[in-house]
Amino acid sequence: NAGVMQNPRHLVRRRGQEARLRCSPMKGHSHVYWYRQLPEEGLKFMVYLQKENIIDESGMPKERFSAEFPKEGPSILRIQQVVRGDSAAYFCASSPLDLKAEAFFGQGTRLTVV
């Protein structure tokens, strides 16, 4: 049973470009969460999605960031017009229900904006 798969593991973008981060939840999991970890800081909740629905995006920056979890395919975190401050590790987690005790995290995508 494969765990939560994130790709790419490392992503380098120039300022102003778009970054697309993908997350495939564990088999049978229909809840996906995205977290961001700035250098030397703890993880911060960004968004909670179920299939085709955004349940809670209270942690998402108001501009340039969006997330989706389509009926088919992985969840996507999209960052438009990236800036240096977007450089961070982005972690995805999934769970079968909204029980965080069963939240399994992926290995993360490390975004570097140059």
Partner 1 sequence: DAKTTQPTSMDCAEGRAANLPCNHSTISGNEYVYWYRQIHSQGPQYIIHGLKNNETNEMASLIITEDRKSSTLILPHATLRDTAVYYCIVSEDSSYKLIFGSGTRLLVRP
Q: Given the complex with partner 1, which of 76 and 89 has the nearer CB atom? A: 89
Q: Given the complex with partner 1, which of 9 and 15 has the nearer CB atom? A: 9
77, HSE (Cβ side, Cα atoms, 13 Å): 33
Question: In the bound complex, what is the minimum distance in angstroms from residue 44's beta carbon to partner 1?
Answer: 7
Residues at the site binding partner 1, with contacts judged by CB under 8 A: 4, 31, 33, 35, 41-45, 48, 55-56, 89, 91, 93, 95, 98-108, 110
Residue whose C-alpha is closest to residue 50's, from 20, 29, 36: 29
Q: Are 29 and 39 in contact (CB under 8 A)?
A: no
Question: In the bound complex, what is the minimum distance in angstroms from residue 20's beta carbon to partner 1?
Answer: 19
Question: In the bound complex, what is the minimum distance in angstroms from residue 10's beta carbon to partner 1?
Answer: 11
Q: Are 109 and 11 in contact (CB under 8 A)?
A: yes
Q: What is the DSSP pairing of strand 10-13 with strand 19-24?
A: unpaired
